[in-house]
Structure 1
Amino acid sequence: MSKFYYTAYGLRIGSEISLPLLKEIQTDTVDLTVKFGNISEIPPLAPTKIHRAGLDAQFAQSDGRLWLDWSPIACFMAANGNELIVDTNQTDVKILSLFILSEALGLILFQNGYLLLHGSAIQLNNKGVVFVGEPGAGKSTTVAAFAQKGVSIISDDMVCIRIDEMGKPSLIPAFPQIKIWEKSVEGLQLSKNDLNVLRTGSTKFSWHESVSFEEAAVPLEQIFILSPPKGENTEISQLDKSEGPVALLSYFPLPDLLLRGGQLKDHFEKSVTIAQTTPIFRMSRPADFAKLYAFVDYMKTTI
């Protein structure tokens, strides 16, 4: 029996587990149930590129079920896009929330047919802008700089894209949180009074309470692929439409084993649709915070 009811990524969620970052709702119907359970039979696990809280996840799939194992913290099973089973002895709500509201929830979104990217997104003038890139490229820092200027965030860490029957992509809001390293906190001169340490012993912070959050889906307007600074000047170049789908493949946030056969075909076709309708840019991250704020101001006046 669910104790809590939330919304995130357009889903009505009934959960046995407290997820304080999510917006509470009242509902008689849920799209997703999150509950504790014993996961006893798992197919052979394979290593993944997914790394969280010092642990590398392992993955398995079979007959509409997907598993992510972060032993000894927790094991997750996503079933049929509407049920997430959590097998854990962990009682720390922060730790459980960190793992549930990440790739584990991403498995459910994948089962529901959304295209997912490892990135962050904002809303500018009712249009969505996405920032993707390798770890350390500056996605969350960039989004935090926009948030400081009063811009609403849509998601951080994982971007969820829905493509409608007309082929138009839109961004589905996640929940109000930006995760940023201490170095970025200091560079942005954020007050730590407004932040929470992500987990005990971590130098990464969660900005949640005072951040502006967009609750409605918005059309996808632009995608930026961030890279580390290249000298003093920020370099921006637009990709050809033919380059976009292959470029986006690099930023799939879930296990690569999911992109096989028909699932790879479906993902690539969605990426082609996005590349045909959405400008995709490569951008070297601004070399310092003054240049980052200048980029924010420029985007606010041009989107």
Structure 2
Amino acid sequence: MEVIPYYYSAYGLTLGSEIRLPPLKEINPCLVDVLIKRAPLLPSPSLQPTKIFRAGLQATFAQNGPQQLWLSWNPLLSFMVINGKEIILDTVQRDEDVLSLFTLSEALGLILFQRGYFLLHGSAIELQGKGVVFLGEPGAGKSTTVAAFAQQGVRVISDDMVCIQVSKTEPPLILPAFPQIKIWETTVAGLQLAKNELTAVREGVNKFSWHESISFTENAVPLEQIFVLTAPNEVEDAPVEVPKHQIPLELLSYFPLADALLQGEPLKDYFEKSITLAQVVPLVKISRPADFTKLRAFVNHLKTSV
């Protein structure tokens, strides 16, 4: 019988882990949905490069059907994810912050993918009981925008990866991740956040985790609106609503995991879910201000218009 030293909750799942996972908060021992353990991995098929970079390392990926997946940031660490129930971590690394950073990103994302959730590379907040998602290319300001909302007491649902439960008969729901926003030092300075409330992130130079004092949503929230943030501009462009028939392709570009996952039946499933979302959730392209004073006005406007 395996001894599980740590228990956590994230994305509506209970996690039992052999490794400590800051910034998750521990919960009482319970039956777990996902087991995270350290062990040598089974040999994988040929690992292929991905578009995923973390801590300056490019991830490689392999699969043996949809229920056996390998994700590696060689030589730092490697994962095998099995049946939506188990994450096996193979590494000599002992730094808890490093292990947590990689485990709680794409590795946990593979579990959610295997469980049939719709995933997007983005961030989400709760406004008046409704979920609002922000997508965008790197540098568009997803986390900065969410941090600006959080500074005003708005509840955060997730940062970096959005997990959506899509049904043909029920409204789509965003599942809460865990209380953390990762932001660069320029955002910390621009929003005038207190550095003593933040911790350094090993992912990059001058990047910080804000998790102690933010307000966090603990229950699933109905998805109301998706915004695609374009590059910050000094002159704010008018919002542009994307036609429903274009939304599935737009969402495909924000898939957060290895592109090789989306082939055959999984690709069909992803498109069917994106079509379902397109029928009930508007997607709007909007530029956020580069100036932090104008960003606050931008946030206030969205708070009253969503």
Residue 185 (1) aligns with residue 188 (2) = yes
Corresponding position of 2:93? 90
Equivalent-residue separation in structure 2 for 1:41 and 1:254 (angstroms): 21
The 5-angstrom pairing of residues 256-267 of structure 1 reads 256-267=259-270
The answer on whether the counterparts of 1:8 and 1:23 sit within 8 Å (CA) in structure 2 is no
Select which of 27, 32, 56 maps to 1:54.
56
Identical columns (%): 60
Equivalent-residue separation in structure 1 for 2:236 and 2:201 (angstroms): 33
Corresponding position of 2:69? 66
The 5-angstrom pairing of residues 189-228 of structure 1 reads 189-199=192-202, 202-228=205-231
Equivalent-residue separation in structure 2 for 1:190 and 1:255 (angstroms): 34
Deviation at 1:292, TM superposition (A): 1.2
TM-score normalised per structure 1: 0.97
Equivalent-residue separation in structure 1 for 2:296 and 2:77 (angstroms): 39
Letter in 1 for 2:10: A
Deviation at 1:231, TM superposition (A): 4.1
Secondary structure of the 2:228 match is: strand
Corresponding position of 1:250? 253
Corresponding position of 2:13? 11
Corresponding position of 2:4? 2
Deviation at 1:167, TM superposition (A): 4.1
RMSD: 1.2
Equivalent-residue separation in structure 2 for 1:201 and 1:255 (angstroms): 21
Equivalent-residue separation in structure 1 for 2:200 and 2:113 (angstroms): 29
Corresponding position of 1:42? 44
Corresponding position of 2:301? 298
The answer on whether the counterparts of 1:234 and 1:286 sit within 8 Å (CA) in structure 2 is no
Deviation at 1:169, TM superposition (A): 0.7
Corresponding position of 2:291? 288
The answer on whether the counterparts of 1:234 and 1:287 sit within 8 Å (CA) in structure 2 is no
The answer on whether the counterparts of 1:237 and 1:281 sit within 8 Å (CA) in structure 2 is yes
Secondary structure of the 1:222 match is: strand
Letter in 2 for 1:108: I
Provide runs of 4+ in structure 1 moved above 6 Å. Answer: none
Superposed CA deviations along residues 112-150 of structure 1, whole A, max 9, x for unmatched, are 000000000000011000001111110000000000000
Equivalent-residue separation in structure 1 for 2:203 and 2:162 (angstroms): 26
Deviation at 1:201, TM superposition (A): 6.5
Residue 118 (1) aligns with residue 121 (2) = yes
Select which of 95, 98, 103 maps to 1:100.
103
Superposed CA deviations along residues 197-224 of structure 1, whole A, max 9, x for unmatched, are 1028721110011111000000000000
Equivalent residues, number: 303
Residue 169 (1) aligns with residue 148 (2) = no
Secondary structure of the 1:142 match is: helix
Select which of 83, 86, 97 maps to 1:80.
83
Equivalent-residue separation in structure 2 for 1:279 and 1:176 (angstroms): 26
Residue 238 (1) aligns with residue 241 (2) = yes
Q: Does the C-alpha gap of structure 1 residues 163 and 201 become closer, same or farther in structure 2, counting only changes over 3 Å? A: closer
Superposed CA deviations along residues 43-96 of structure 1, whole A, max 9, x for unmatched, are 100000000001000000004201100011110010000000000101000000
Structure 1: unaligned runs, 5 residues or longer: none
Equivalent-residue separation in structure 1 for 2:36 and 2:207 (angstroms): 26
Equivalent-residue separation in structure 1 for 2:232 and 2:112 (angstroms): 33
Superposed CA deviations along residues 17-44 of structure 1, whole A, max 9, x for unmatched, are 1012113222431100000010141110
Equivalent-residue separation in structure 2 for 1:152 and 1:209 (angstroms): 13
Superposed CA deviations along residues 156-203 of structure 1, whole A, max 9, x for unmatched, are 000000013514211000000000011111111111111111028721
Letter in 2 for 1:193: N
